[in-house]
């Protein structure tokens, strides 16, 4: 999907996993990024954007398009190809009282900037005894599905969630993009906002005005009685398809979208599992060491007596992501694999 068509070809059949109303306006996932950025930059002059190609080209996927013509080169800054420097710029600006949004084109590139992210951004408030505030938002594009191959398709949220001091956000639709991005930029601590590049053209209802979705609060998308399905990011769509299929076979799924994976709304998940007695966790990242393992562990610790079967996990195999579209499609979890995992619990 090229930058020229990310706001086209939207799946009009997709319903918001949050609050959908067909009579109200719909907005694309990628379009919600630029709308939110524009509105919050008009509202708060301390907010600026910096990253590779975010100015003239609007970013590699175009979801910052149009910001530089309105706000100028001082507030929408094209940077050199230097990820450590980009994050360092953001850290310094945030400590001095600005609210920077710094973009790393692909999630894979956090590895290049990990010293700045893990040892500086995440630690400064602690190192200064709470005396420093760091309102830094790091945006990045994660996930597979565009044949971008092994170095541009990874989902590395578990790596980020392991670092105390960071908040990690994974919106599943355009409604959540706007509400969560607004919360991230207004947050006084460093956040990582993970955009799923396969979702960019999908539409749902999004209010025109700015609004916040609280960080750390999950959402029950679908109530059910037989099994709790915890789905993260783009996997929410696949879990909804699986739940619909299983409803016709007599299995009633309760679907939970954490929205924020650090901090995690484990209380919401445990409450659901205590009701259903079964749990399946779905994420796009590699299964081994993924965020699903942590969620499963916490469910076991807090709701073991309610479980009627082992906790299921649906995730990618322990392999680099293939370039081949056919292999990549087989690599990424889908509704069919979720259905199979759920049926194995009964």
pLDDT of the residue at 21:
52
Q: Express as a percent the part of the chain with pLDDT over 70.
A: 93
Task: Indicate whether 137 pLDDT > 60.
Answer: yes
Task: Indicate whether 86 pLDDT > 60.
Answer: yes
CB atoms within 10 A of CB 110: 24
Q: Report the C-alpha gap between 239 and 174 in whole angstroms.
A: 17
| Total-model pTM | 0.93
The yes-or-no answer on residue 152 being catalytic is: yes
Q: Which helix (H) or strand (E) holds 178?
A: helix 174-186
In Å, how far are 12, 98, 205, 237, 240 from 23, measured between CA atoms? 13, 38, 9, 22, 22
Q: Report the C-alpha gap between 139 and 184 in whole angstroms.
A: 10
Task: Indicate whether 23 pLDDT > 90.
Answer: no
In Å, how far are 30, 57, 65, 131 from 69, measured between CA atoms? 18, 11, 9, 36
Question: Domains plus CATH for the chain?
Answer: 26-205 (3.40.50.970), 219-343 (3.40.50.920)
pLDDT in tens, 320-331: 999 999 999 999
> pLDDT band at 260, cuts 50/70/90?
very high
Task: Indicate whether 2 pLDDT > 80.
Answer: no
Residue from 129, 171, 341 nearest 246 by CA: 341
Q: Report the C-alpha gap between 256 and 60 in whole angstroms.
A: 31
Which residue is associated with the tokens 């059910």? 224
pLDDT in tens, 50-78: 999 999 999 999 999 999 999 999 999 99
Task: Indicate whether 8 pLDDT > 60.
Answer: no
Residue 271, class by beta-carbon neighbours within 10 Å (0-12 exposed, 13-18 middle, 19+ buried)? middle
- The chain-wide mean pLDDT, for the chain, equals 93
Task: Indicate whether 11 pLDDT > 80.
Answer: no
Catalytic, out of 57, 152, 205, 278: 152
């Amino acid at each position: 999907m090229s930058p020229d068509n990310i706001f086209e070809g939207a799946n009009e059949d997709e319903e918001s996993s949050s609050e959908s109303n067909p009579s109200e306006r719909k907005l694309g996932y990628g379009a919600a990024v630029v709308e939110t950025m524009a509105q919050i930059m008009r509202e708060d002059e301390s907010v600026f954007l910096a990253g590779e190609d975010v100015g003239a080209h609007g970013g590699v996927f175009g979801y910052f398009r149009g910001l530089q013509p309105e706000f100028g080169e001082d507030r929408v800054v094209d940077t050199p190809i230097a990820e450590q420097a980009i994050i360092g710029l953001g850290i310094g600006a945030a400590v001095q009282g600005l609210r920077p949004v710094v973009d790393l084109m692909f999630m894979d590139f956090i590895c290049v900037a990990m010293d700045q992210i893990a040892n500086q951004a995440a630690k400064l408030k602690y190192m200064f005894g709470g005396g420093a505030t760091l309102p830094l938002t790091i945006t990045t594009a994660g996930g597979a599905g565009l044949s971008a191959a092994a170095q541009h398709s990874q989902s590395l949220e578990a790596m980020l969630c392991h670092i105390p001091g960071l908040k990690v956000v994974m919106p599943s639709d355009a409604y959540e993009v706007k509400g969560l991005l607004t919360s991230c930029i207004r947050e006084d601590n460093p956040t990582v906002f993970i955009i799923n590049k396969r979702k960019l053209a999908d539409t749902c209802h999004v209010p025109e005005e700015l609004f916040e979705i609280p960080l750390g609060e999950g959402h029950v998308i679908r109530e059910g009685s037989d099994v709790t399905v915890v789905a993260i990011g783009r996997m929410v769509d696949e879990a909804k398809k699986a739940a619909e299929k299983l409803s016709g076979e007599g299995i009633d799924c309760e679907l939970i979208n954490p929205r924020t994976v650090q901090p995690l709304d484990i209380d919401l998940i445990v409450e659901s599992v205590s009701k259903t007695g079964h749990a399946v966790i779905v994420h796009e990242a590699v299964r081994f060491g993924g965020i699903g393992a942590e969620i499963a562990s916490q469910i076991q610790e807090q709701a073991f007596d309610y479980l009627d079967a082992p906790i299921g996990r649906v995730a990618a195999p322990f392999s680099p992501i293939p370039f081949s579209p056919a292999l990549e499609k087989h690599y990424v979890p889908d509704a069919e694999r979720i259905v199979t995992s759920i049926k194995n619990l009964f």
